[in-house]
Amino acid sequence: MSRPPVRTASPGAMRFSLLGPLTARIDGREVPLGPRKQRLVLATLLARPNTPVPVDVLTDVVWPDDPPRTARKNLQVYVSAARALIGPAGSDGRERVVHGCGGYLLRVAEGELDTLRFGALARAGREAAERGDLPGAARLLRQALDLWEGPPLNDLRDSAGVAEEAGRLEARCLTVFEDWAEAEIELGRAAVAVDGLRDLVERHPLRERLRAAWMNSLHQSGRQAEALAVYDDYRQLMARELGLEPSPAMTALYRAMLGRGREARRPAAPERPGPVVLPAGPGAFAGFRDELRDLLAVLGGGEERAVVVSGPAGAGKSALAVRAARLLADRFPGGRVLVRVRGEDGTARDRADVLAEAVRLCGAAGTAAGGPDAARADGPAASADALADVWQAWLARRRALIVLDDVPDEASVRGLLPRSGACSVLVTARGQLPGLAPVHRIALPALADGEALELLGKLIGAGRLRTDPAAALRIVRACGGLPLAVEVSGMRLAVLRHLPLAEYADRLDDPAGALDELVAGDVSVRRRIASGWQDLADGDRRVLARLAELVDDGGFTLDRAAAALDCGERAAIRAVESLIDAGAVTSPAGEVTAHAALYEVPRLLGLFARDREGG
């Protein structure tokens, strides 16, 4: 492809804007940002400021359907051109755009990007409100809203990746508008918010907090009939679109307006514990102390709203998530709920079904947890988008923890992650889900020998473990440190009390029979691995089977992978990294070049792959 013409930026004050069309200005002069694909790259980098953006994410944004072979080279050209346009260094003198193992990172200061300035003003406004300084809160929130020039990135929303980022930004703006409107209403200045609320309700008719503020502002302005009509319209819309009723808080506001004069205020939601819908934890749990500590620190600290815990099938992701959710009861009084994103057969559930279950379990449509289904059987089928609006409205008003368990891909959780408010989401997935950002990531490693022995001992008894510690060690190593395999071994040995540990270790050491031994009742390691196998593309399965032949001696290098796959270096890197993304190959935890890295296929997955492709 030909390199797009660029004009080098001259030194000066740089300002980027995403809250409207994408723009960049130097000393007030707008800078032309080049062709559309180059602007898509810049918009994506700015939407995740000071954070590495993976190359795969940028590729999906620019070429969502069929990226060319030269996609990475083209991205380098677009980034280079953008660097020339906006200048090589930021206001702090550091390099503006850098590339590392995590992707491309665009450094930008708070005063240079409207979304960062918006966030700072919004936080300051909320802090003022918490101190009881409503005039100060209203002023700061209004300053934040003055940066909002229209639908964020409205010139690039035909790209699905940018549209998702834009939706997240718009949700933040809507939440700040709601905060500001409620502050003005409390100050007795409701009339200043009426028109803006009406316009936003027309664009977001199912966003309940917006509608409640509009209803209250009309009432406080002496327009009671119009205020009551707002509620009636909303009630009919909810019944027609979703088969639901307005929330108890909205209904209470309506009743208060019927019985009072202008002094009615939006009542707070009832102070009651949120729903707790969590499965029973495993009978035995061991290991992952560092990961659990990290998880509790991140979610308990309130900084991160989304965490992805990844690892292969049987790695203990769900058990860790449930344990963390139980330990975080005080941090999330609004509820702790687990929703499974796959069906019993391991396939992805329909997004509308998952949203409907989440709405029902959480009582997000005004029903109590465990009450009637949110999507009534006799009502119209609710669309995924309509359910997502109801779900987001619920999340915005609560401090809850939602566990989305066994997520197959990014598309399965679109609309489920919180766009605003104090809720957090803990996602478990076999793959890395690189398209989800910004999130905190925790990859579960195999259990260390000591951790695996601890788990085995909890199931068969410490005394039996001590009868033959060498055989016990062989058992957990033959399980590859996979928690499910260790647990199944323990369950079998707990029943087969007569079986010497050494004999069972011999069975597991046999590659031809190891998976046949790892069955306890209806729990089968082979079946769980087969479910993960189905997630892989056909090409990835063939590659994994070839690579599995290399791991008998503990791992493989990139050079050995290229030789086994009979391909060049670049193709080998892409093949291995695709399997890393899918959770089928492990890589070093620290930074290391691709050539120096030692990659591994988990033992049991490797046995399965060789058996499946070889047969």
Please spell the DSSP secondary structure of 16-34, one letter per residue: EE-SSS-EEEETTEEPP--
Query: Residues 394-398: contacts with CB within 8 Å, 24+ apart?
Result: 394/359, 394/362, 394/364, 394/365, 395/419, 395/420, 395/421, 395/423, 396/175, 396/209, 396/420, 396/421, 396/423, 397/209, 397/249, 397/269, 397/421, 398/274, 398/334, 398/335, 398/422, 398/423
Examine residue 267 and say whether the peptide bond preceding it is cis (omega within 30 degrees of 0). Answer: no
pLDDT of residue 281: 60
pLDDT of residue 10: 41
| Predicted structure pTM score | 0.59
pLDDT of residue 378: 31
- Residue 360 C-beta-side C-alpha neighbours within 13 Å: 18
Task: Give strand ranges (E) for 320-439.
Answer: 336-340, 401-405, 424-429
Query: Crossing angle, helix 55-62 and helix 160-186, to 10 degrees?
Result: 90
Q: Are 238 and 249 in contact (CB under 8 A)?
A: no
Q: Which residues of the chain have pLDDT under 50?
A: 1-11, 261-272, 366-381, 615
Degrees to nearest 5, angle at CA 255 with 249 and 258: 145
- Tokens standing for residue 87: 């200048």
Tokens 């987001």 map to which residue? 392
Q: Is 66 exposed, middle or buried (CB count within 10 Å of its CB: 0-12, 13-18, 19+)?
A: exposed
pLDDT of residue 91: 58
